[in-house]
Structure formats: structure tokens, C-alpha cells
Amino acid sequence: MRAFLLVLVWCCTVPSLAWAQDDDDSDPFNDLLEDDEDDSFGIDPGELKPKEETTFAEPEVDEDDPSDPVGPDGEQPDLLDDDPDPTGPLGADSAETYRATLAAVSKLDPDDEMQTWDAYLAQYPNTSFRGQIEKRMEQLEDEMYDLNRMHTKTDPDEGVDADKAELKFSQGLLIENINPRRRLQLTFEWGLPDYANLGADYEHPISRKVSIHGGLRRRFTGGSVEGGVRWALVKSARTQTLVTFIGDVRLNTAPAFVGFRPQIAVGKRFGKLDLQGQAGVEVAPRAALDLRVIGGANMTFRASNAVAMFAETSLYMKTISGDAGPFRFNQFTFGMKFFPSTKAADPQKTEVNLGASIPYSSAYWQYHYGSLMGQANFYLK
């Protein structure tokens, strides 16, 4: 009996355990639990990639490009302040240096300003102001090579043909003016031992190429009242050339006699250099024919719009004289010229000459052993 009961219990228990096992395999709730354990939702975990972080690329900085406003540290430099990094790259400047140079060149002519900026770029090749400097240099090149601007822009006849425009040319101290213009000239000369000369002359143009003048001065033979004509056979602002006939007449006061002074003069400008020469005679029909050779030459170098340097020679030699014999008194003169009015909108109105003269060849006459000279030319409209 006991054996029978054990067999019955075994038969009932084994199928139940098998059934429970099958139920666990097919139970949808078990499937759900298993799905919870795997959160890939049917996707192979090997196919998943880690999420990439979104980053923004920083702007590239070319440290060799001085025009790049962004510095190597990503900061924009303050151009109105000093260089924040005094130990910056070799050949770099500071805003203070640039401002000082900018102020210095503001009073220079285009040629000198161009040379200054060339030297600046050579000294500071990595300047952060290269763009501004190169733009200014381009403007200076236009000013330097614009012939119409150089010779007609500041004149009343602006825009006319260069052959009809006014020509500005240097004035000598002891030689005659060769450029017909409306001009007032005042002269002072003092020499040792006892020579002094005060002079004034006014020149009035009849046309662009012809003018008349009159004035007072002292010459070697005494006080002189003078007048005459200037006739520019050639006067070209395009070629910067003058060929002028000078026909002067003077009245010597003590002793009294009349002298005729015809001369021919040539002038030419080569960039900043003015060259001129003149030659002629002074004829005085006195008791005997009095013939003297006169003339001279002048070289003026225009260092800037405001300053020039000059060297000059003047000739005065007697060739025919009854019983007085020959004589000569030739001088060398040197000095500086100043042009107070240099603004582009204001024509050149004043030319001031300061210099000294030394006799280098003299015989019979000894007027002075050297003199100091001053001359002012006022060019009127």
C-alpha cells in the first residue's frame, strides 16, 4: 500500500513540473521581463556608436598676416593703445611709434613722406599698420607723378593745358629774374668795408610770357633807377623750360648816364633741381663806348616744399674803357630759400632768400670783401 502511494505521487508531480517549465518558456510576461533586461530593442549592441559631442572650430589665425585683426591669443589688439605685448615678434612696432611717425610726416612733402614710410617698413616689417601705410604710399605716388596737380592744381588756371599754366621757377639773388610773373621784390645787401644796397622792384605781366618791371637799387657804379621787359620766348610747365629775352634800361644817378642791358637767359627744371644761366652786355654810350659783360648762373635744389638750397655766380667785367683800363668783379653766392606758404590749396606766394656773397675774381675795383644778402619775393595774383 505504501509503495502504491509513492508511485501515485510521483506520477502526479513530474507532469506538473514539466508543465510549469513549459509555461515559463512561453509566458509573455517572462518575455517582457527579459526584454527589460536588454534595452537595445532588437538592435545589436555592437552596431551602436557613442554619441559625438558637437564642437565649434576656432577661427584660424595667421600670425604672419599683419592685416589679421585677431591676435594669436584670439584677442583683438587695441590700436589706440600701446602694444600690449612689448616682447612681440621681431620687427613689430607699437601704436605709439606709428602715431609719432604719422604726426612727423604730416608736414612733409610727398617725396619726403614716401621716403619716411619706406624706412619705417624696412625697420618694422611686421607692423600691424602695414595696410594703412601701403594705402597712403599709393596716394603719395599719385601725387608725386600727377604733373597736372604739381604745376596747375594750385594756380588760378587749374585744369588748363600744361603749356598754358603758370610756371614756378627759382629766383636768383644777383642775377635777373627770367620768369615773367606779377611780383614784388625787396632786397638787402651789406658788405665790408662800407658797401650797402637796398632795392625794390615791381614786375607786372602783360601776358603769360611778357612782363614789364621798374625799381630802384644800387649797382657798382652808384644808385640806379631801372625798368625793362621780360619776354619768355619759351615758357612751358609741361617741359619745365624757360627761354627769356631780358631788355633792361637803367639810369645811373651819380655819375649820371644811361645804360642798356640786353641779355638772353635759359632755365630748366630737372625734378627738384632748377638750373638757369644768362649772359649779355651793358652798354653805356658815354664819352667813350663803355661795354661790360654781365651774366651769371644759378643752381637751386628743392629739398622740400618749404626749403631749398642754392649756389650762384655773377659776372661783371669791363672790356673796353678809354683810359681807365680793364676791371672785373665776379662773385660767388650761396644760401637757402624758404617758402612759407606750402599748403596744397594755397599757391606759392612768398620766396625768401638768405645768403652770402664772396668775390672770387676781382681787379681794379674792390667794392667789398664779402656781403650778407636777403631777398623777399612776393608773387601776387
Q: Per-residue pLDDT tens for 231-247?
A: 999 999 888 999 999 99
What DSSP state is assigned to residue 100?
A: H
d(CA 310, CA 274): 9
What are the tens digits of pLDDT across the range 112-134? 888 899 899 988 988 889 888 98
* Rg, C-alpha atoms of the chain: 48
318 contacts 289 by C-beta, under 8 angstroms: no
Residue 325 has pLDDT above 90, yes or no: no
In the numeric block, the cell 606758404 is attached to 341
Mean pLDDT of the region 253-276: 94
d(CA 298, CA 311): 6
Residue 74 has pLDDT above 80, yes or no: no
69 contacts 76 by C-beta, under 8 angstroms: yes
Q: At what angle do helices 130-145 and 110-123 cross, to 10 degrees?
A: 150
330 contacts 295 by C-beta, under 8 angstroms: no
β partners of residue 292: 282, 318
Q: Which pLDDT score, from 0 to 100, does residue 220 have?
A: 84
380 contacts 183 by C-beta, under 8 angstroms: yes
71 contacts 92 by C-beta, under 8 angstroms: no
**pTM score above 0.85:** no
Determine how many CB atoms are found less than 10 A away from the CB of residue 222: 12
Mean pLDDT of the region 330-353: 80
Given CA atoms 88, 89, 90, 96 in this order, what sign does their dihedral have?
Answer: negative
Can you list the domains of the chain with their CATH numbers? 65-145 (no CATH), 183-379 (2.40.160.40)
Residue 71 has pLDDT above 80, yes or no: no
Neighbour-count burial for 13-35, b at 16+ CB within 10 Å, e otherwise? eeeeeeeeeeeeeeeeeeeeeee
Residue 336 has pLDDT above 70, yes or no: yes
Q: What is the mean pLDDT of the chain?
A: 78
β partners of residue 278: 265, 296
Tell me how far CA of residue 306 lies from CA of 112, 340, 342, in angstroms: 12, 6, 6
Cell of residue 336, nine digits: 637757402
What are the tens digits of pLDDT across the range 90-105? 667 888 999 999 988 8
Q: Which of 24-28, 55-59, 113-117, 206-210 has the highest mean pLDDT?
A: 206-210
